[in-house]
């Protein structure tokens, strides 16, 4: 780290750039990156809640090292600050995508007024690749028993003003054959009505813990 005494002043123009990059309302939309073997070689701690080079990872995942590498590349390609924390869970995705990892970006610098991004990743020959990204999402994140195009439907909670009526709003995110619905407030996502049949993969408590990092 540079000694601040060696820098007499910072140009005012830099302050504006830093503030813009770190705005809590900024929602970054980087392309889907693929991690490289060199990035995968960088070690991470094995605990369920462990620091990486740029993010705490809370949750049970198949390959914590590959996820940490993906997150480093994801932030770098977005030209955005490194993620502080994520909540992740690897689950069964079905015959075509046997293991998928749900990753909730629990970092105010990566969220907007409507919520945060939920990524769905899957393994490839170089580590992990992005299958989909869903914006303005809130926990809990569920894996439902219903399926669309061979993949389990996902469910997230959305801000109440997106749909009419009282109470919390939960929506179904179907898989279209290539990715899950990108926006939970417009079709093909739809409001979940009646009993919710599925498993909670990412809890509100986990997200609250991650945000405190």
Residue 137: pLDDT above 70?
yes
Q: Rounded mean pLDDT of 99-114?
A: 93
Please tell me the distance from the alpha carbon of residue 179 to that of residue 91, in angstroms, as a whole number: 16
**C-alpha dihedral, 159 to 162 to 166 to 168, nearest 10°:** -30
Q: Exposed, middle or buried by CB within 10 Å (0-12, 13-18, 19+), for 125?
A: exposed
Whether the predicted model's global pTM rises above the 0.85 cut: no
The model's pLDDT over 42-99, given as tens digits with 9 standing for 90+, comes to 333 333 434 445 689 999 999 999 999 999 999 999 888 889 999 999 999 989 899 9
- For 206, phi and psi rounded to 5 degrees? -60, -45
């Amino acid at each position: 780290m540079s000694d601040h005494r060696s820098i007499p002043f910072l140009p005012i123009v830099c302050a504006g750039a830093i503030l813009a990059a770190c705005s809590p309302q900024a929602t970054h939309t980087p392309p889907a990156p693929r991690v490289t073997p060199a990035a995968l070689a960088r070690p991470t701690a094995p605990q369920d809640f462990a620091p990486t080079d740029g993010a705490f990872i809370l949750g049970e995942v198949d390959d914590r090292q590959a996820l940490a590498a993906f997150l480093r590349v994801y932030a770098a390609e977005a030209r955005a600050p490194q993620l502080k924390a994520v909540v992740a869970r690897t689950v069964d995705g079905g015959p075509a995508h046997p293991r998928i990892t749900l990753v909730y970006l629990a970092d105010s610098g990566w969220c907007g007024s409507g919520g945060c991004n939920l990524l769905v990743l899957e393994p490839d020959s170089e580590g992990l690749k992005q299958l989909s990204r869903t914006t303005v999402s809130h926990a809990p994140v569920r894996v439902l028993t219903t399926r669309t195009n061979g993949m389990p439907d996902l469910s997230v909670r959305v801000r109440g003003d997106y749909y009419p009526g009282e109470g919390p709003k939960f929506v179904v995110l179907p898989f279209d054959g290539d990715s899950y619905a990108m926006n939970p407030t417009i079709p093909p996502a739809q409001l979940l009505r009646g009993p919710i049949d599925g498993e909670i993969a990412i809890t509100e408590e986990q997200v609250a813990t991650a945000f405190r990092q």
